[in-house]
Structure 1
């Protein structure tokens, strides 16, 4: 069976307007409906304080009255976590232990998870990223947390931007996986602003072979269900958070549309939507000379940048580092 997790993500690979809200889940090509089983945040703005409870499922996330059933052996998106609960519809996200089932980091040639997602953009403007639900996952109800991490401003502490949402799912099958304590993480608390995968310079190409996504390693279904050694990041489609470090790709999608190809195993997808540039202008940037207006959260300057340097009304172009200025 094929499963697709849909996120409407205002994201462009170069400008990194990464605003994501998971919006839909598809089962065998059947759209379960807008926000069905999804705890939608109150806005698509990033979370930058990793000690805030908003790091769980996004700012102001409520609950849904629905549950999505997913057989073990399925696929999903970017960095993807599960937390076992008795009742996913009513469970609080606070105080749970999260384990990672998918992570799409960066290849040795510098292709990030978000790049892959954008590359898979469909005619509706949604980019897809896929991951596989491990077959060993024990049946039962879970909260599934999908995380996109934007690293374009992460050279300064507090500059990394998290976009995450949670879905309420029910896993079926005959798995019996029980994560080791070393494979679990609490949120907030599991991330710190100075973690190597959060405070990072994506403009230094040496990161392509040394980057490790934040959080524990992706779980292993092997003997003892022990957590594997942390993955480095030259892995293409299986360990990489996006240029704006956000990805988790073990066949999954990140976008708001259906997946077109059907893998043998069950597939989860998260969707991302490319953002449009906005309207009026206000501010100038450090370099770049393109015409037009940069959107809120969009790039407006930096070394080698040639796009618009004027920001949409109400925002100002602020230098984040030598390579990136952003409309904030």
Structure 2
């Protein structure tokens, strides 16, 4: 079995994050790579790239284009039990993943251009009565023990990348600055011979505090929801909210 090393560009502030969700682990093709973030509410700050206080990584994860990277999220540090919701308290919203190509993933700060490779957002629940009853990416993630499968697009060129995994919790997003963004960046070295060159966005800049996917009343009747940021690129993955845990690499861990 191959072994990989990874590090997270994140704020290691456990005392502040105890009540919040945290991206903690990374899996590659079903192998656990065996690591906390506080929410970002100011979408104009540099912290929206990879969370606050990024530091140089100790290593990189080697992956191949087409591999599946599985990011793992939990509300409490060191709690990876499927018996508990990965993120509770009605922290419903979209789950999104971005890539940015960089010179050296170990030292990159996320200031380069990003493109979206994965999104699990929203779908109407015909038996529900409001947005909180609808299908959300976070609900799918909870059904999958906090795990989110993210295929690296087959046409990804070889090189170093940051992978940015993000949840936007909308439980208090009815006012400006209420949406809570949880993100972490992982350092990857991709092996591949693709030649994709997708359009990119900048963080900050990709989101506005007034975006309808950011300023959003989850408890009112919802007829539509569009996650913020760009569309998923060609070759990326758009999951249908409400499909639960489908094809998850490591859904049976205890």
Instruction: Give your verdict on TM over 0.5.
Output: yes
User: Please, what TM-score do these two structures have when normalized by structure 1?
Assistant: 0.57
Q: Using the alignment, how far apart are the partners of 1:170 and 1:155 within structure 2?
A: 39
Q: How many residues align?
A: 210
**SS state at 1:136 partner:** coil
Q: Using the alignment, how far apart are the partners of 1:90 and 1:69 within structure 2?
A: 16
* Contact 2:123 2:241 survives alignment (8 Å): yes
Question: Cα offset for 1:115?
Answer: 0.6
- For structure 1, the 5+ residue unaligned runs are 8-16, 36-42, 122-126, 223-230, 239-248, 262-270, 272-328
Inter-CA distance 18–140: structure 2 relative to 1 (3 Å threshold) = farther
Q: Runs in 1 of length 4+ with deviation above 6 angstroms? A: 249-253
Give 1:212's aligned residue. 226
Inter-CA distance 46–19: structure 2 relative to 1 (3 Å threshold) = same
Give 1:113's aligned residue. 137
Question: Cα offset for 1:19?
Answer: 2.5
* Contact 1:105 1:213 survives alignment (8 Å): yes
Inter-CA distance 174–237: structure 2 relative to 1 (3 Å threshold) = farther
User: Please, what TM-score do these two structures have when normalized by structure 2?
Assistant: 0.72
* Contact 1:120 1:129 survives alignment (8 Å): yes
Question: Cα offset for 1:30?
Answer: 3.2
Please tell me whether residue 66 in structure 1 is matched to residue 59 in structure 2: yes
Q: Using the alignment, how far apart are the partners of 1:73 and 1:251 within structure 2?
A: 18
Q: Find the partner of 1:55 among 48, 60, 64.
A: 48
Q: Using the alignment, how far apart are the partners of 1:202 and 1:149 within structure 2?
A: 12
Q: Using the alignment, how far apart are the partners of 1:157 and 1:89 within structure 2?
A: 34
* Contact 2:28 2:67 survives alignment (8 Å): no
Question: Cα offset for 1:111?
Answer: 1.0
- For structure 2, the 5+ residue unaligned runs are 9-17, 72-94, 126-133
Please tell me whether residue 79 in structure 1 is matched to residue 96 in structure 2: yes
Give CA deviations for 1:12-62 in whole Å, capped at 9, x if unaligned: xxxxx97233322223443333x4xxxxxxx53211000111111111121
Question: Cα offset for 1:63?
Answer: 2.2
Inter-CA distance 100–89: structure 2 relative to 1 (3 Å threshold) = same
Inter-CA distance 152–82: structure 2 relative to 1 (3 Å threshold) = same
Question: Cα offset for 1:6?
Answer: 11
Inter-CA distance 70–112: structure 2 relative to 1 (3 Å threshold) = same
**SS state at 2:135 partner:** coil
Q: Using the alignment, how far apart are the partners of 1:107 and 1:130 within structure 2?
A: 19
Aligned pairs for 1:254-269 (under 5 A) are: 259-260=250-251
**SS state at 2:47 partner:** helix
**SS state at 2:193 partner:** coil
Question: Cα offset for 1:69?
Answer: 1.0
Q: Using the alignment, how far apart are the partners of 1:175 and 1:116 within structure 2?
A: 30
Larger Rg: 1
Q: Find the partner of 1:194 among 210, 232, 242.
A: 210
Inter-CA distance 156–252: structure 2 relative to 1 (3 Å threshold) = farther
